[in-house]
C-alpha cells in the first residue's frame, strides 16, 4: 500500500544544541535505513519549513505506524497520512 505522509517537525526552542544535533543525526540514520529497506521510496523537503512530504510503501496501516513511530523525531512531529490508490488516468496504469 502506498501512503502520502507529511511530517512537520517542531523541536523545543530551549533544547540543548548537543541533544538536538544527536537527535537529528539519529533521525537521518533511521530515515536512510528505511529508504534502503524500500519502505520509504520518496522523500522531499518542504521549502522554507522543517517539514517533508514522503511516500511510504508498506503492507498495512499498522506497519506504517510502526515505521513512523520508530523515527527519533516522532515525539516532535505532527504527521498527516493519506492512503493512495492508482488513478485510472495514470499513464503507468494503462494496458
Query: Predicted confidence band at 92 (pLDDT cuts at 50, 70, 90)?
Result: confident
Residue 63 has what pLDDT?
Answer: 98
91 domain residue, yes or no: no
35-49 mean pLDDT: 98
Residue 19 belongs to domain spanning: 2-86
Q: Structure pTM?
A: 0.91
Cα–Cα dist 73/9, whole Å? 7
Apex 42 CA angle, 82 and 44, nearest 5: 90
Position 95 pLDDT exceeds 90: no
58 domain residue, yes or no: yes
25 domain residue, yes or no: yes
Indicate the number of domains in the chain: 1
Query: Predicted confidence band at 78 (pLDDT cuts at 50, 70, 90)?
Result: very high
Q: What is the DSSP annotation of 52-72? A: EEEEEE-S-HHHHHHHHHTST
32 domain residue, yes or no: yes
CATH of the domain at 52: 3.30.70.1060
Residue 62 has what pLDDT?
Answer: 97
94 domain residue, yes or no: no
Amino acid at each position: 500500500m502506498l501512503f502520502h505522509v507529511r511530517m512537520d517537525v517542531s523541536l523545543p526552542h530551549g533544547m540543548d544544541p548537543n541533544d538536538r544535533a544527536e537527535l537529528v543525526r539519529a533521525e537521518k540514520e533511521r530515515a536512510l535505513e528505511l529508504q534502503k529497506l524500500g519502505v520509504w521510496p520518496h522523500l522531499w523537503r518542504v521549502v522554507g519549513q522543517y517539514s517533508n512530504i514522503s511516500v511510504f510503501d508498506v503492507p498495512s496501516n499498522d506497519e506504517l505506524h510502526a515505521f513512523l513511530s520508530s523515527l527519533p523525531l516522532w515525539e516532535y512531529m505532527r504527521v498527516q497520512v493519506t492512503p493512495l490508490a492508482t488513478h485510472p488516468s495514470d499513464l503507468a496504469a494503462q494496458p
